[in-house]
Every structure is written in C-alpha cells, then in structure tokens.
Amino acid sequence: MRCPYCGGLDTQVKDSRPTEDASSIRRRRICPDCGGRFTTFERVQLRELQVVKKNGRRAPFDRDKLVRSVQVALRKRSVEPERIERMINGVVRQLESQTDGDIPTERIGELVMEGLKALDDVAYVRFASVYRNFREARDFNAIVGELEAEPEPTPAREAPRQRRDAPAS
C-alpha cells in the first residue's frame, strides 16, 4: 500500500482488527520512510457495479471517488473515520442490493445525502449544494426545511420579554 504522504511503497501494518460492525478490517499502517501514519479498510465486494451517467455513459463504480466526495463535504468536521466508513459501506451495500448492477449517478447522490444527514448537518448541506447545484432556490429551502424538521434536543428558550409599556387591556 503506497504511503499517501511520500509515495513510498514499503508501508507496514502496525495493527489489524475488525471494525465494530465486523464488516471491514481496519489496518493502521506506518511508513518507515517518512513516519506517516494512515488507516486502510479491507471489505467485501459483492459485485461489480456500473455507474450510468446522465449522458448515458457507463463507468465502473469507483468507491474511492465516492469516499473523496464525502471527505470534501466532511472537511474540518469532527466525525470519526469509522462512522464515515460505516456510512459508505451502507451506501455501497444498498447500491449492490437494489440494482441489477447499473446505478444512475443520481441514486448514489441520494443515498450519500441520506447517509450524511445522519452523520453531520453541515456536511449534508455542503454535499447537497454541490450535488443538487441549487439550481432552484426552493431546493435549498427544502433542505433547510428537512434539517429543521429533525427533532433535536434544544436548550429551553427564555420566554419572550413582555413589553412593559404595553397598554393594559
């Protein structure tokens, strides 16, 4: 496995264990050349998936590309790598089970949006804004509306202040 920092090919596995849901093996690796540390995941691939783009073109499904777009959305957000990995696994498993092997790109976008919504609101809006391109203002309003509809524990608000000079009725 090539070191993502220096490109060295001679990285070593320091630790190897299954993830919490036992769907992947997580390996911590170290690069003896630069001392860089990184993590890789080994997982099952049930079948080959083909992505069908809007123009009708097909391309092999690229999990890494999906991971990269999710990571861009999650930039500087503190979400554990394992939760991200589990979310991606869930998306891929759904793609594998719901299709005959051909996936429209929109389907991937929808599943990722669903997954991100459960992980991190900010990442969700970021991803959705790129994915949906906010062609229409109401897309944005719909997304914000969806977020607001989520029940979240909020601190009790102060009661609105009463105007003292209000005329007595």
Residues that bind Zn ion (CB under 5 A): 3, 5-6, 8, 31, 33-34, 36
* CB 7 to Zn ion: min, Å: 7
The answer for residues whose C-beta is within 8 angstroms of residue 120's C-beta and 6 or more apart is 74, 77, 79
* CB 53 to Zn ion: min, Å: 35
Nearer to Zn ion by C-beta: 33 or 121? 33
Nearer to Zn ion by C-beta: 19 or 40? 40
Nearer to Zn ion by C-beta: 8 or 109? 8
* CB 5 to Zn ion: min, Å: 5
Nearer to Zn ion by C-beta: 6 or 72? 6
160: number of CA atoms within 13 Å, CB side?
A: 2
Beta bridge partners of 29: 13, 38
Residue 134, classified by CB atoms within 10 Å of its CB into exposed (0-12), middle (13-18) or buried (19+), is middle
> Which pair of tokens denotes residue 145?
């509306």
* CB 32 to Zn ion: min, Å: 8
